[in-house]
Structure 1
Protein backbone atom coordinates (compact mmCIF):
# COMPACT_ATOMS: atom_id res chain seq x y z
CA UNK A 1 0.00 0.00 0.00
CA UNK A 2 1.46 3.37 -1.06
CA UNK A 3 1.67 6.47 1.01
CA UNK A 4 -1.11 9.01 0.78
CA UNK A 5 -0.34 11.99 -1.44
CA UNK A 6 1.17 14.85 0.55
CA UNK A 7 0.04 17.60 -1.82
CA UNK A 8 -3.12 18.97 -3.35
CA UNK A 9 -3.00 18.16 -7.06
CA UNK A 10 -5.30 21.05 -7.92
CA UNK A 11 -3.04 23.54 -6.12
CA UNK A 12 0.04 22.11 -7.82
CA UNK A 13 -1.55 22.42 -11.26
CA UNK A 14 -2.66 26.01 -10.56
CA UNK A 15 0.86 26.88 -9.37
CA UNK A 16 2.30 25.23 -12.49
CA UNK A 17 0.07 27.48 -14.63
CA UNK A 18 1.71 30.48 -13.01
CA UNK A 19 5.20 29.06 -13.30
CA UNK A 20 4.90 28.05 -16.96
CA UNK A 21 3.01 31.27 -17.72
CA UNK A 22 5.81 33.32 -16.21
CA UNK A 23 8.82 31.49 -17.56
CA UNK A 24 7.62 29.28 -20.44
CA UNK A 25 8.11 25.56 -20.81
CA UNK A 26 11.81 25.68 -21.64
CA UNK A 27 12.43 28.20 -18.85
CA UNK A 28 11.21 25.79 -16.18
CA UNK A 29 13.31 22.81 -15.16
CA UNK A 30 12.13 19.76 -13.26
CA UNK A 31 14.20 21.06 -10.34
CA UNK A 32 12.25 24.33 -10.54
CA UNK A 33 8.99 22.40 -10.44
CA UNK A 34 10.09 20.36 -7.45
CA UNK A 35 11.30 23.45 -5.59
CA UNK A 36 8.50 25.87 -6.50
CA UNK A 37 5.60 23.44 -6.32
CA UNK A 38 6.75 21.61 -3.20
CA UNK A 39 6.32 18.21 -4.82
CA UNK A 40 8.91 15.47 -4.61
CA UNK A 41 10.40 14.44 -7.93
CA UNK A 42 9.00 10.92 -7.65
CA UNK A 43 5.53 12.24 -6.84
CA UNK A 44 5.70 14.62 -9.78
CA UNK A 45 6.49 11.78 -12.17
CA UNK A 46 4.01 9.39 -10.57
CA UNK A 47 1.16 11.92 -10.70
CA UNK A 48 1.85 13.76 -13.97
CA UNK A 49 4.12 11.36 -15.86
CA UNK A 50 6.65 13.99 -16.88
CA UNK A 51 7.31 17.70 -17.06
CA UNK A 52 5.44 17.72 -20.37
CA UNK A 53 2.53 15.87 -18.76
CA UNK A 54 2.25 18.52 -16.06
CA UNK A 55 2.61 21.25 -18.70
CA UNK A 56 -0.29 19.87 -20.74
CA UNK A 57 -2.48 19.60 -17.65
CA UNK A 58 -1.52 23.16 -16.65
CA UNK A 59 -2.21 24.46 -20.16
CA UNK A 60 -5.63 22.80 -20.21
CA UNK A 61 -6.39 24.23 -16.76
CA UNK A 62 -5.39 27.70 -17.99
CA UNK A 63 -7.66 27.32 -20.99
CA UNK A 64 -10.56 26.18 -18.82
CA UNK A 65 -10.07 28.67 -15.98
CA UNK A 66 -8.88 31.75 -17.88
CA UNK A 67 -9.59 31.50 -21.61
CA UNK A 68 -13.11 30.02 -21.54
CA UNK A 69 -14.38 32.66 -19.08
CA UNK A 70 -12.83 35.30 -21.32
CA UNK A 71 -14.77 33.88 -24.26
CA UNK A 72 -17.96 34.07 -22.20
CA UNK A 73 -17.22 37.71 -21.37
CA UNK A 74 -16.45 38.42 -25.02
CA UNK A 75 -19.87 37.09 -25.96
CA UNK A 76 -21.31 40.13 -24.19
CA UNK A 77 -18.98 42.66 -25.85
CA UNK A 78 -20.91 45.43 -27.54
CA UNK A 79 -18.16 46.77 -29.77
CA UNK A 80 -14.59 46.11 -30.90
CA UNK A 81 -13.13 48.44 -28.28
CA UNK A 82 -14.80 46.43 -25.51
CA UNK A 83 -13.56 43.16 -27.02
CA UNK A 84 -10.02 44.52 -27.31
CA UNK A 85 -10.12 45.72 -23.74
CA UNK A 86 -11.23 42.32 -22.48
CA UNK A 87 -8.55 40.43 -24.40
CA UNK A 88 -5.73 42.81 -23.57
CA UNK A 89 -6.54 42.79 -19.86
CA UNK A 90 -7.01 39.03 -19.51
CA UNK A 91 -4.40 36.67 -18.06
CA UNK A 92 -3.30 34.95 -21.25
CA UNK A 93 0.41 34.58 -20.58
CA UNK A 94 0.49 30.80 -20.74
CA UNK A 95 -1.61 30.75 -23.91
CA UNK A 96 0.70 33.25 -25.60
CA UNK A 97 3.85 31.42 -24.52
CA UNK A 98 2.37 28.11 -25.61
CA UNK A 99 1.55 29.56 -29.03
CA UNK A 100 5.00 31.00 -29.52
CA UNK A 101 7.19 28.39 -27.88
CA UNK A 102 5.54 24.96 -27.76
CA UNK A 103 2.92 24.90 -30.51
CA UNK A 104 5.47 24.90 -33.35
CA UNK A 105 7.19 21.86 -31.82
CA UNK A 106 4.34 19.96 -30.17
CA UNK A 107 1.21 18.94 -32.08
CA UNK A 108 -0.83 18.42 -28.93
CA UNK A 109 -0.04 21.93 -27.68
CA UNK A 110 -0.72 23.32 -31.16
CA UNK A 111 -4.17 21.70 -31.15
CA UNK A 112 -5.00 23.15 -27.72
CA UNK A 113 -3.83 26.64 -28.73
CA UNK A 114 -5.67 26.50 -32.06
CA UNK A 115 -8.89 25.41 -30.37
CA UNK A 116 -8.61 28.14 -27.71
CA UNK A 117 -8.03 30.85 -30.30
CA UNK A 118 -10.97 29.57 -32.33
CA UNK A 119 -13.20 29.86 -29.25
CA UNK A 120 -12.09 33.47 -28.74
CA UNK A 121 -12.57 34.27 -32.44
CA UNK A 122 -16.07 32.76 -32.44
CA UNK A 123 -17.10 34.65 -29.30
CA UNK A 124 -16.00 37.93 -30.88
CA UNK A 125 -17.67 37.12 -34.20
CA UNK A 126 -20.94 36.25 -32.49
CA UNK A 127 -20.93 39.24 -30.15
CA UNK A 128 -20.10 41.80 -32.79
CA UNK A 129 -21.90 40.18 -35.71
CA UNK A 130 -18.76 40.16 -37.84
CA UNK A 131 -17.13 37.58 -40.06
CA UNK A 132 -14.87 34.91 -38.67
CA UNK A 133 -11.94 36.42 -40.57
CA UNK A 134 -12.49 39.86 -39.07
CA UNK A 135 -12.93 38.35 -35.61
CA UNK A 136 -9.65 36.44 -36.02
CA UNK A 137 -7.96 39.69 -37.05
CA UNK A 138 -9.34 41.42 -33.96
CA UNK A 139 -8.18 38.58 -31.69
CA UNK A 140 -4.75 38.61 -33.32
CA UNK A 141 -4.46 42.38 -32.98
CA UNK A 142 -5.42 42.26 -29.30
CA UNK A 143 -2.95 39.47 -28.57
CA UNK A 144 -0.29 41.37 -30.51
CA UNK A 145 -0.90 44.44 -28.36
CA UNK A 146 -0.40 42.28 -25.26
CA UNK A 147 2.85 40.93 -26.66
CA UNK A 148 4.05 44.44 -27.41
CA UNK A 149 3.28 45.45 -23.84
CA UNK A 150 0.96 48.30 -24.79
CA UNK A 151 -2.58 47.00 -24.48
CA UNK A 152 -4.13 50.37 -23.67
CA UNK A 153 -2.24 52.75 -25.95
CA UNK A 154 -3.02 51.42 -29.40
CA UNK A 155 -6.19 49.49 -28.58
CA UNK A 156 -8.73 52.24 -29.05
CA UNK A 157 -7.40 53.46 -32.38
CA UNK A 158 -7.03 49.92 -33.66
CA UNK A 159 -10.52 48.93 -32.55
CA UNK A 160 -11.99 51.81 -34.55
CA UNK A 161 -10.19 50.62 -37.68
CA UNK A 162 -11.37 47.04 -37.16
CA UNK A 163 -14.90 47.82 -36.03
CA UNK A 164 -17.21 47.57 -39.05
CA UNK A 165 -19.72 49.82 -37.31
CA UNK A 166 -17.31 52.78 -37.08
Structure 2
Protein backbone atom coordinates (compact mmCIF):
# COMPACT_ATOMS: atom_id res chain seq x y z
CA UNK A 1 0.00 0.00 0.00
CA UNK A 2 2.79 2.46 0.86
CA UNK A 3 4.64 1.65 -2.37
CA UNK A 4 1.46 2.37 -4.35
CA UNK A 5 0.95 5.61 -2.44
CA UNK A 6 4.55 6.61 -3.20
CA UNK A 7 3.86 6.04 -6.89
CA UNK A 8 0.72 8.15 -6.75
CA UNK A 9 2.48 11.02 -4.99
CA UNK A 10 5.43 10.79 -7.40
CA UNK A 11 3.13 11.00 -10.39
CA UNK A 12 0.71 13.69 -9.28
CA UNK A 13 2.30 15.31 -6.22
CA UNK A 14 0.83 15.80 -2.77
CA UNK A 15 -1.66 18.49 -3.75
CA UNK A 16 -2.66 16.56 -6.88
CA UNK A 17 -3.91 13.58 -4.86
CA UNK A 18 -7.08 13.76 -2.80
CA UNK A 19 -7.99 11.46 0.04
CA UNK A 20 -10.70 10.06 -2.25
CA UNK A 21 -8.00 9.28 -4.84
CA UNK A 22 -5.95 7.51 -2.19
CA UNK A 23 -8.90 5.49 -0.93
CA UNK A 24 -9.83 4.51 -4.49
CA UNK A 25 -6.33 3.61 -5.70
CA UNK A 26 -5.19 1.92 -2.51
CA UNK A 27 -8.40 -0.07 -2.03
CA UNK A 28 -8.78 0.89 1.61
CA UNK A 29 -11.56 2.56 3.53
CA UNK A 30 -11.14 6.18 4.51
CA UNK A 31 -11.40 5.26 8.20
CA UNK A 32 -8.64 2.67 7.83
CA UNK A 33 -6.37 5.19 6.16
CA UNK A 34 -6.90 7.67 8.99
CA UNK A 35 -6.60 4.98 11.67
CA UNK A 36 -3.23 3.75 10.36
CA UNK A 37 -1.65 7.03 9.16
CA UNK A 38 -3.63 9.71 10.99
CA UNK A 39 -3.96 11.91 7.92
CA UNK A 40 -3.09 12.27 4.27
CA UNK A 41 0.16 13.91 5.39
CA UNK A 42 0.93 10.92 7.59
CA UNK A 43 0.55 8.60 4.61
CA UNK A 44 2.62 10.99 2.50
CA UNK A 45 5.47 10.96 5.03
CA UNK A 46 5.35 7.16 5.21
CA UNK A 47 5.37 6.95 1.41
CA UNK A 48 8.23 9.45 1.12
CA UNK A 49 10.32 7.60 3.69
CA UNK A 50 9.61 4.29 1.96
CA UNK A 51 10.62 5.85 -1.37
CA UNK A 52 13.86 7.24 0.02
CA UNK A 53 14.77 3.95 1.72
CA UNK A 54 13.72 1.49 -1.01
CA UNK A 55 14.22 3.43 -4.23
CA UNK A 56 16.65 6.31 -3.74
CA UNK A 57 19.16 4.74 -1.32
CA UNK A 58 19.69 1.62 -3.49
CA UNK A 59 20.28 3.94 -6.44
CA UNK A 60 22.86 5.85 -4.39
CA UNK A 61 24.61 2.60 -3.54
CA UNK A 62 24.82 1.78 -7.25
CA UNK A 63 26.14 5.26 -8.01
CA UNK A 64 28.80 5.20 -5.29
CA UNK A 65 30.18 1.89 -6.52
CA UNK A 66 29.79 2.50 -10.24
CA UNK A 67 32.92 1.64 -12.23
CA UNK A 68 31.67 3.96 -14.98
CA UNK A 69 30.08 7.18 -13.62
CA UNK A 70 29.15 8.33 -17.15
CA UNK A 71 27.10 5.17 -17.69
CA UNK A 72 25.47 5.63 -14.30
CA UNK A 73 24.47 9.16 -15.34
CA UNK A 74 22.94 7.79 -18.51
CA UNK A 75 21.02 5.19 -16.53
CA UNK A 76 19.84 7.77 -13.99
CA UNK A 77 18.67 10.23 -16.62
CA UNK A 78 16.56 7.78 -18.61
CA UNK A 79 13.06 9.19 -18.25
CA UNK A 80 10.68 6.27 -18.36
CA UNK A 81 8.29 4.63 -15.93
CA UNK A 82 10.75 1.83 -15.19
CA UNK A 83 13.40 4.28 -13.99
CA UNK A 84 11.54 6.70 -11.74
CA UNK A 85 13.67 6.30 -8.62
CA UNK A 86 14.06 10.06 -8.27
CA UNK A 87 10.54 11.27 -9.03
CA UNK A 88 9.04 11.43 -5.54
CA UNK A 89 12.26 12.95 -4.24
CA UNK A 90 11.93 15.68 -6.86
CA UNK A 91 8.24 16.26 -6.21
CA UNK A 92 8.85 16.47 -2.47
CA UNK A 93 11.75 18.87 -2.97
CA UNK A 94 9.81 21.34 -5.09
CA UNK A 95 6.33 21.00 -3.62
CA UNK A 96 6.44 19.96 0.05
CA UNK A 97 9.91 20.83 1.37
CA UNK A 98 9.32 24.60 1.15
CA UNK A 99 6.21 24.32 3.37
CA UNK A 100 6.89 21.26 5.54
CA UNK A 101 10.03 21.25 7.74
CA UNK A 102 9.87 17.48 8.26
CA UNK A 103 9.88 16.87 4.51
CA UNK A 104 12.63 19.49 4.10
CA UNK A 105 14.82 17.59 6.59
CA UNK A 106 14.28 14.28 4.78
CA UNK A 107 15.07 15.87 1.41
CA UNK A 108 18.16 17.72 2.69
CA UNK A 109 19.54 14.50 4.24
CA UNK A 110 18.92 12.60 1.02
CA UNK A 111 20.53 15.28 -1.15
CA UNK A 112 23.63 15.15 1.04
CA UNK A 113 23.60 11.39 0.45
CA UNK A 114 23.34 11.98 -3.30
CA UNK A 115 26.34 14.31 -3.20
CA UNK A 116 28.35 11.79 -1.18
CA UNK A 117 27.47 8.89 -3.52
CA UNK A 118 28.46 10.83 -6.64
CA UNK A 119 31.62 12.04 -4.89
CA UNK A 120 32.59 8.41 -4.14
CA UNK A 121 31.93 7.41 -7.75
CA UNK A 122 34.07 10.27 -9.06
CA UNK A 123 36.92 9.49 -6.68
CA UNK A 124 36.71 5.80 -7.57
CA UNK A 125 36.96 6.67 -11.24
CA UNK A 126 39.78 9.18 -10.56
CA UNK A 127 37.66 12.03 -11.93
CA UNK A 128 37.40 15.44 -10.42
CA UNK A 129 40.90 16.59 -9.67
CA UNK A 130 41.38 18.25 -6.31
CA UNK A 131 37.73 18.99 -5.61
CA UNK A 132 35.45 16.09 -6.55
CA UNK A 133 32.89 17.20 -3.97
CA UNK A 134 32.29 20.41 -5.94
CA UNK A 135 31.95 18.40 -9.12
CA UNK A 136 29.65 15.94 -7.33
CA UNK A 137 27.40 18.78 -6.15
CA UNK A 138 27.23 20.16 -9.70
CA UNK A 139 26.45 16.76 -11.18
CA UNK A 140 23.74 16.00 -8.62
CA UNK A 141 22.11 19.37 -9.27
CA UNK A 142 22.32 18.73 -13.01
CA UNK A 143 20.93 15.20 -12.77
CA UNK A 144 18.01 16.31 -10.62
CA UNK A 145 17.31 19.34 -12.79
CA UNK A 146 17.37 17.31 -15.97
CA UNK A 147 15.22 14.60 -14.42
CA UNK A 148 12.71 17.24 -13.36
CA UNK A 149 12.68 18.72 -16.85
CA UNK A 150 12.33 15.26 -18.40
CA UNK A 151 8.94 14.97 -16.69
CA UNK A 152 7.74 17.40 -19.37
CA UNK A 153 8.69 14.79 -22.00
CA UNK A 154 11.70 16.76 -23.20
CA UNK A 155 14.58 14.54 -24.28
CA UNK A 156 17.39 15.97 -22.20
CA UNK A 157 19.43 12.88 -21.42
CA UNK A 158 22.22 13.90 -23.79
CA UNK A 159 22.64 17.24 -22.02
CA UNK A 160 23.68 15.58 -18.76
CA UNK A 161 26.15 13.31 -20.51
CA UNK A 162 27.59 16.26 -22.45
CA UNK A 163 28.05 18.20 -19.22
CA UNK A 164 29.67 15.21 -17.49
CA UNK A 165 32.05 14.69 -20.42
CA UNK A 166 32.92 18.40 -20.49
CA UNK A 167 33.63 18.48 -16.75
CA UNK A 168 35.61 15.25 -17.02
CA UNK A 169 37.83 16.69 -19.78
CA UNK A 170 38.39 20.08 -18.11
CA UNK A 171 39.42 18.46 -14.80
CA UNK A 172 42.20 16.34 -16.34
TM value normalised by structure 2: 0.84
Q: What does the per-residue CA deviation read over 1:91-150, in whole Å, with 9 as the maximum and x for residues that have no partner? A: 211110000000000000011111111111101101212432221110110111112213
Query: What is aligned with 1:6?
Result: none
Distance in 2 (CA, whole Å) between partners of 1:139 and 1:77 is: 15
Distance 2:34 2:156 in 1: 38
* Greater mean deviation of Cα atoms: 31-40 or 80-89: 80-89
Partner of 2:92: 98
Task: Please say if residues 63 and 69 of structure 2, whose CA atoms lie closer than 8 Å, have aligned partners that are also in contact.
Answer: no
User: TM-score, normalization: structure 1?
Assistant: 0.87
Matched-pair contact (CA < 8 Å) for 1:74–1:86? no
Task: Please say if residues 98 and 109 of structure 1, whose CA atoms lie closer than 8 Å, have aligned partners that are also in contact.
Answer: yes
Q: Residue 15 of structure 1 aligns with which residue?
A: 4
Unaligned runs of 5+ in 2: none
Unmatched 5+ residue regions in structure 1?
1-11
Contact 2:146–2:160 at 8 Å: present in 1 too? yes
Match of 2:148 in 1: 147
- Contact 1:87/1:143 (<8 A) preserved: no
Aligned with 2:89: secondary structure?
A: helix
Q: Residue 78 of structure 1: CA displacement?
A: 3.3
Structure-2 residue corresponding to 1:58 = 47
Kindly tell me the number of residue pairs found equivalent between the two proteins.
155
The reply to whether residue 120 of structure 1 matches residue 110 of structure 2 is: no
CA offsets 1:35-70 (integer angstroms, 9 cap, x no match): 111110110000001000000000000001110001
1:9 equivalent in structure 2: none
| Residue 27 of structure 1 pairs with residue 16 of structure 2 | yes
